[in-house]
Amino acid sequence: MERLQKVLAHAGVASRRKCEELIRSGRVQVNGQTVTELGVKVDPAKDRIAVDGMPVRLETRKRYLLLYKPAGVITSVRDPHGRRTVIDLLEGVPERVYPVGRLDYETEGLLLLTNDGELAHRIMHPRYELDKVYEAWVKGHPDEEDLRRLREGILLEDGWTHPAKVERLAERSGRTLLRLTIHEGRNRQVRRMCAAVGHPVLVLKRVRVGFLTLGRLRPGEWRELAPEEVRRLRALVGL
């Protein structure tokens, strides 16, 4: 038997704290009865749990997948415009997993997917922000002053970016390859940062999250995390 809020959080409904609010506000039912107390314990294998009358699917097997998202695929479970989603790439995975954060449609690279709601919430939470490393081909040749601005912080429309690590990896005619390490996960952040210093991104790839890298994966391929990797990841976010 497990506490109701924990079962809901594990099912990916919301963070544990949000699930407690759902229970307190009378939106959670167990076997058809509304439950508003937080101490209630349930058996995920037997009890029928619902939020606002909608049954909650209780996943039994936890899945932790590392996908090499190709460009031209949307980071979403469903797309109203019928575009290919990252879930379409996960053949043979019957569990309902969710992307941890998002990569833009045109961005490729490392994306985690899991049905462990609590871990996913923590990985995305600013307090535990893990290193996210991107390789960006940008237009033109940023000078030292551009790199300094990227490193120290850029004022975007949603505020200053935190300090970033920025290295120049290669130069070709008319373009430069940068490696940027950031801890935040704002919408289109790397693209907006580079555009703000006058060097828009041409191609963007996420190559690392925390200690996880793409390794030998090719675009469109995925692998299951090893138990040791899951343990390390959980430890990094205080679980």
Residue nearer to ligand URA on the CB measure, 64 or 134? 134
Contact assessment for residue 239 and residue 122, using Cβ atoms and an 8 Å cutoff: yes
Please give the Cα distance from 7 to 59 (Å, whole number): 9
204 binds ligand URA (CB under 6 A): yes
- Rounding to the nearest 10 degrees, give the CA dihedral for residues 91, 96, 100, 105: 50
Nearest Cα neighbor of 73 from 239, 234, 222, 191 is 222
Dmax (CA) for the chain in angstroms is: 67
For ligand URA, give the closer residue by CB, 50 or 219.
219
Q: Does 131 bind ligand URA (CB under 6 A)?
A: no
- Residue 15 found at the interface with ligand URA (CB under 6 A): no
* Binds ligand URA by CB under 6 A, chosen from 6, 139, 179, 188: 188
Specify the stretch interacting with ligand URA by CB under 6 A; choose among 25-33, 80-88, 99-107, 153-161.
99-107
189 binds ligand URA (CB under 6 A): yes
Helix axes 189-196, 144-152, angle to 10 degrees: 140
Catalytic residue from among 104, 116, 143, 146: 104
Which residues would be at the binding site for ligand URA (CB under 6 A)? 103-104, 107, 188-191, 204
